[in-house]
């Protein structure tokens, strides 16, 4: 079930980033007292009363000729396009401004549920300033204070009350759903077409021509799959379709619904930072992953090229050392037959269960080979390990004190588990718990 998306929209300097950080619980957004400092939409996940959602922090919307104001307005419009619910942030100290009214006009056109948050209402005397905000026409404004964290519960209650009831398409358990993610113009659509053997998805040389995730049933070798492609019709005349940031939200939606994620890289251009960012989302979401190097036909090759490129990928994507790499060309269909077996392998490992006794043998052998570390005179003791979940495989290790299981030793145990059971193509999680 895809998570609903909430966008925080408003003119500059009303405290959007502060509220964003409060809701996601981390200081992700740059917070500075200069209007327009948050120039990029920033994405994260939030949770309230067991409801999980994606959160977008937008740059402020200002209707003026300042150089990046046009971009900021476009960013806010993207967020409005993407959001299920919009938090419209205003500033209680400054009262209702013409800029707020301009923002409201843009929001009316979205026909989305809007909750008005009046920020910087730090004491009860300031509540009188609320009445002006009724004039915006979005119902009762919610007084909040980002710096003191006041009123956020009331705000989020209203937000989740407006979440849409989503009808999720149901597929059989054994049908593998896989999605293609990657920055614009790496050839995702061409790859879908090459697999399907028909031009079902629009392909164009303009980066960013595909929109909205669409599901395409696909049969290969008598087995059924669903391709979740972040593809569909292009919005005509929208400049911002080409922004690389835009591909991230598309990717997030597709990742949530996939069993296996194909991280597509352009073999001609090599790896850029954006590729890592997008792959990171799939890894964090715990999905099975296959790295696909497309446009391999366009690369000048000798007998060492593939090995060297593979090494480059391993160096750049250290966190994806478990993901198999496939080199192919969607255009000429060379090596395309190598893709589905890797998707199958990754999916199988993603839902693999390990027998508890065998798992404990592996863990105890690992400890014998490399004894547990000590910290402040205390040695980590490992009593017992068990697998508690699949998709991704998740292991709980019972110890004397979870604080003593440091990242490096956890990594060592993960490597030993991988050596013993494979798990190629899937992340695995290790959680330390105190023995009761």
Q: Which two tokens stand for residue 142?
A: 């919610």
Question: Does the pLDDT of residue 77 top 50, yes or no?
Answer: yes
57 is in an annotated binding site: yes
Could you tell me if 331 and 214 lie in one domain? yes
Question: Does the pLDDT of residue 96 top 50, yes or no?
Answer: yes
The segment with the largest mean pLDDT, out of 35-39, 132-136, 237-241, 385-389, is 385-389
Residue of 365, 370, 432, 427 lying closest to 395 (CA atoms)? 432
Are 125 and 145 a contacting pair, CB within 8 Å?
no
Q: How confident is the model at residue 10 (pLDDT cuts 50, 70, 90)?
A: confident
Residue 139 within a domain? yes
Task: Give the CATH number, domain containing residue 374.
Answer: 3.30.300.20
Could you tell me if 211 and 334 lie in one domain? yes
Listed residues 290, 317, 349: the one ending a domain: 349
Q: Is the dihedral of CA 155, 156, 159, 160 positive or negative?
A: negative
pLDDT at residue 213 in the model: 56
> DSSP secondary-structure letter at 119?
E
* More confident position, 1 or 289: 289
pTM beyond 0.85 = no
* More confident position, 37 or 112: 112
Q: How confident is the model at residue 71 (pLDDT cuts 50, 70, 90)?
A: low
Q: In what order do the strands lie in the sheet with 223-229?
A: 214-220, 223-229, 176-181, 260-266, 288-294, 325-327
Tell me the average pLDDT of the chain.
82
12 is in an annotated binding site: yes
Contacts of 28 (CB under 8 A, 6+ apart): 20, 21, 42, 44, 57
183 is in an annotated binding site: yes
Could you tell me if 407 and 307 lie in one domain? no
- Determine the average pLDDT of the residues in 57-65: 59
- Determine the average pLDDT of the residues in 28-45: 52
pLDDT at residue 15 in the model: 83
Q: Which two tokens stand for residue 419?
A: 């050596």
Question: Does the pLDDT of residue 430 top 50, yes or no?
Answer: yes
Listed residues 349, 371, 402: the one ending a domain: 349
Alpha helices by DSSP H, listed for 257-320, are 273-284, 305-316
Are 188 and 182 a contacting pair, CB within 8 Å?
yes
Task: Convert the pLDDT of each residue in 385-401 to its tens digit.
Answer: 999 999 999 999 999 99
14 is in an annotated binding site: yes
What b/e string do you get for 258-273 counting C-beta neighbours within 10 Å, with b at 16 or more?
A: bbbbbbbbbbeeebee
Are 192 and 207 a contacting pair, CB within 8 Å?
no
Q: For the CA atoms of 185, 189, 190, 196, what is the dihedral angle to 10 degrees? A: 170
Alpha carbons 159 and 49: distance in angstroms, whole number: 11
295 is in an annotated binding site: yes
Could you tell me if 366 and 383 lie in one domain? yes
Could you tell me if 382 and 281 lie in one domain? no
Residue 167 within a domain? no
Could you tell me if 59 and 152 lie in one domain? yes
92 is in an annotated binding site: no
Residue 343 belongs to domain spanning? 176-349
Question: Does the pLDDT of residue 201 top 50, yes or no?
Answer: yes
Among the ranges given (271-275, 351-355, 371-375, 418-422), the one the predictor scored with the smallest mean pLDDT: 271-275
Q: Annotate 360-421 with DSSP letters as a single string.
A: HHHHHHHHHHSPPPEETTEE--EEEEEEEETTTTEEEEEES-GGGS-HHHHHHHHHHHHHHH
Could you tell me if 406 and 374 lie in one domain? yes
Residue 166 within a domain? no
Question: Does the pLDDT of residue 64 top 70, yes or no?
Answer: no
Residue 432's SS3 state is strand
17 is in an annotated binding site: yes
Could you tell me if 49 and 157 lie in one domain? yes
58 is in an annotated binding site: yes
Residue 404 within a domain? yes
- Determine the average pLDDT of the residues in 255-260: 88
Could you tell me if 255 and 310 lie in one domain? yes
Alpha carbons 82 and 351: distance in angstroms, whole number: 31
Q: How confident is the model at residue 25 (pLDDT cuts 50, 70, 90)?
A: confident
- Determine the average pLDDT of the residues in 67-93: 78
Question: Does the pLDDT of residue 380 top 90, yes or no?
Answer: yes
184 is in an annotated binding site: yes
15 is in an annotated binding site: yes
296 is in an annotated binding site: yes
Question: Does the pLDDT of residue 273 top 80, yes or no?
Answer: no
Alpha carbons 333 and 213: distance in angstroms, whole number: 23
1 is in an annotated binding site: no
* More confident position, 277 or 210: 277
- Determine the average pLDDT of the residues in 248-262: 81
435 is in an annotated binding site: no
Angle, helices 152-161/16-24, rounded to nearest 10 degrees: 80
Residue 171 within a domain? no
275 is in an annotated binding site: no
107 burial via Cβ count (<10 Å: 0-12, 13-18, 19+): buried
Listed residues 300, 330, 349: the one ending a domain: 349
> DSSP secondary-structure letter at 124?
G
Could you tell me if 128 and 182 lie in one domain? no
Question: Does the pLDDT of residue 34 top 70, yes or no?
Answer: no
pLDDT at residue 250 in the model: 64
Residue 170 within a domain? no
pLDDT at residue 87 in the model: 94
186 is in an annotated binding site: yes
Task: Give the CATH number, domain containing residue 22.
Answer: 3.40.50.300
Could you tell me if 51 and 102 lie in one domain? yes
pLDDT at residue 106 in the model: 84
153 is in an annotated binding site: no
Task: Convert the pLDDT of each residue in 291-345 to its tens digit.
Answer: 999 999 988 888 899 999 999 999 888 889 999 999 999 999 999 999 999 999 9
Residue 70 within a domain? yes
Among the ranges given (100-104, 305-309, 381-385, 412-416), the one the predictor scored with the smallest mean pLDDT: 100-104
Question: Does the pLDDT of residue 92 top 70, yes or no?
Answer: yes
Q: How confident is the model at residue 211 (pLDDT cuts 50, 70, 90)?
A: very low
Q: Which two tokens stand for residue 57?
A: 């922090």
The segment with the largest mean pLDDT, out of 31-35, 129-133, 355-359, is 355-359
Tally of domains within the chain: 3
Among the ranges given (52-61, 215-224, 292-301, 354-363), the one the predictor scored with the smallest mean pLDDT: 52-61
Alpha carbons 214 and 201: distance in angstroms, whole number: 10
Are 107 and 136 a contacting pair, CB within 8 Å?
no
Are 38 and 57 a contacting pair, CB within 8 Å?
yes
Could you tell me if 124 and 239 lie in one domain? no
335 is in an annotated binding site: no
Alpha carbons 418 and 395: distance in angstroms, whole number: 12
Q: Considering the chain, what percentage of its residues have pLDDT values greater than 70?
A: 82
Residue 218 within a domain? yes
25 is in an annotated binding site: no
């Amino acid at each position: 079930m895809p998570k609903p998306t909430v966008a925080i929209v408003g003119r500059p300097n009303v405290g959007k980033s502060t509220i964003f950080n409060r809701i996601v619980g981390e200081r992700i957004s740059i917070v500075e007292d200069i209007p327009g400092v948050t120039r990029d939409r920033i994405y994260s996940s939030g949770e309230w009363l067991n409801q999980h959602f994606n959160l977008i922090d937008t740059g402020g919307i200002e209707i003026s000729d300042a150089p990046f104001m046009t971009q900021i307005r476009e960013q806010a419009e993207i967020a409005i396009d993407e959001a299920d619910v919009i938090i419209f942030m205003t500033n209680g100290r400054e009262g209702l401004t013409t800029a707020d009214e301009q923002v409201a006009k843009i929001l009316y056109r979205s026909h989305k549920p809007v909750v008005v948050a009046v920020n910087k209402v730090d004491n009860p005397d300031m509540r009188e300033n609320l009445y002006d905000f009724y004039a915006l026409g979005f119902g009762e404004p919610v007084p909040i204070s980002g710096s003191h964290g006041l009123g956020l519960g009331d705000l989020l209650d209203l937000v989740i009350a407006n979440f849409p009831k989503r009808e999720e398409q149901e597929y059989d358990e054994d049908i593998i759903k896989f999605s293609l993610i990657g920055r614009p113009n790496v050839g995702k659509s061409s790859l879908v077409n090459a697999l399907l053997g028909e031009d079902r998805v629009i392909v164009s040389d303009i980066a960013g021509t595909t929109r909205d995730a669409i599901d395409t049933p696909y049969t290969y070798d008598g087995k059924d799959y669903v391709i979740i492609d972040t593809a569909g019709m292009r919005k005509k005349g929208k400049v911002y379709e080409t922004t690389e940031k835009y591909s991230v939200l598309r990717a997030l939606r597709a990742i949530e619904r996939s069993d296996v994620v194909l991280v597509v890289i352009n073999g001609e251009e090599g790896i850029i930072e954006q590729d890592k960012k997008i792959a990171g989302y799939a890894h964090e979401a715990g999905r099975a992953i296959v790295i696909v190097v497309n446009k391999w036909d366009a690369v000048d090759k000798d007998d060492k090229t593939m090995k060297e490129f593979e090494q480059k990928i391993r160096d750049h994507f250290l966190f994806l050392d478990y993901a198999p790499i496939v080199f192919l060309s969607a255009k000429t269909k060379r090596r395309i037959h190598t893709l589905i077996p890797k998707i199958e392998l990754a999916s199988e490992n993603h839902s693999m269960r390990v027998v508890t006794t065998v798992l404990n043998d592996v863990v105890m052998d690992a400890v014998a080979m490399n004894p547990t570390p000590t910290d402040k005179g205390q040695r980590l003791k490992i009593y017992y390990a068990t697998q508690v979940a699949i998709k991704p495989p998740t292991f709980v290790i019972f110890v004397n004190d979870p604080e003593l299981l440091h990242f490096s030793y956890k990594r060592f145990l993960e490597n030993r588990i991988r050596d013993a059971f494979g798990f190629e193509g899937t992340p695995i999680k290790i959680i330390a718990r105190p023995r009761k």
